[in-house]
Structure 1
Amino acid sequence: MSEALHLVCPHCHAVNRVPAARLGENPACGQCRQPLFTAQPLELDAPHFDRHIGRNDIPVLVDFWAPWCGPCRMMAPAFAQAASMLEPQFRVAKLDTEAHQAIAARHAIRSIPTLALFRGGREIARQAGAMAAADIVRWARSHVG
């Protein structure tokens, strides 16, 4: 019997149970029927940030960024490319620190862009500064056993 993983839908935010062996088969949400993986970073907001960080059984890679940040805008295409390379083993997400300052403060984000990797609701790694897609993928994978 395959281990079941909890995955939060990027569309309706429902928690789904998916057999680990079926992650690569483009699973769909049981509630809204949308794909659980889109090969694009998920834009997180305050109401859904904790749900995605805490309820996904796969690691969640978050790009803390702001619209006015030049390096953030430069890294955005690389981060989107990394999302297509990391899914479905990772949930890849972005959080606009300008729009959600309380979450950024709670996580002590002092410079942007900052990548933070969460597993089981806890931060397990952090890296500040813009990175290329291959470096993002290598960095994320290096922190998950």
Structure 2
Amino acid sequence: MSAESIHVVCPQCAAVNRIPSERTGSGQCGKCGAPLFSGQPIILNDANFARHIARNDLPVLVDFWATWCGPCQMMAPVFAQLAERHRTDLRVAKLDTDAAPHTSAQFAIRSIPTVILFRGGREVARTAGAMPLAQLEQWLTPYLKNAG
């Protein structure tokens, strides 16, 4: 057994949990008891965004979207599928740009949907526009250790 561990931010209460790396994909939050890997997109806002980006050891893919945006609505099921398929190697999150104007401005979101991949608290890739699941996964492949 490996003694290595990773930090995973709880999707419910934003508590930082340390889990053994071999248990990635399972476990519950030590603070609130919520599953750490629900297979559903995490809802971000101005208050919890920085913690999820900076404190997760897994890469975090954020969909910057708005409720009134047609292409964003088309991407919603794609993001849900992505969250389920990559529950162990990627944190999939959504940020409503209208509800989180500070974070949207910080990252100069000019068109939606915009998808940004963060690793180690830093932006590593960005793309804009709706795309099917296969295309999104192909775009992600170079950035994920266990893509596929």
Structures share a fold, TM > 0.5? yes
Counterparts of 1:66-145 in structure 2 under 5 Å? 66-145=66-145
Q: Is the 8 A contact 1:64 1:96 kept in 2?
A: yes
Percent identity among equivalent residues? Answer: 56
Quote the residue 2:16 is aligned against. 15
1:76-120 CA-to-partner distances (Å, cap 9, x unmatched) read: 111111111111211100000011111111001111001100011
Hey, what's the Cα distance between the residues in 2 that align with 1:129 and 1:143?
19
- Corresponding residue pairs, total: 144
- TM-score with structure 1 setting the length: 0.94
Please say if residues 114 and 127 of structure 2, whose CA atoms lie closer than 8 Å, have aligned partners that are also in contact: yes
CA distance in 1, matches of 2:141, 2:12: 25
Q: CA deviation at 1:137?
A: 2.2
Q: Distance in 2 between matches of 1:28 and 1:13?
A: 12
Q: Are 1:53 and 2:75 counterparts?
A: no
Q: Which one has the bigger helix percentage?
A: 1
**Residue 86 of structure 1 contacts residue 137 of structure 1 at CA under 8 Å; is this kept in 2?**
no
For structure 1, the residue ranges without an aligned partner over 5 or more in a row are: none
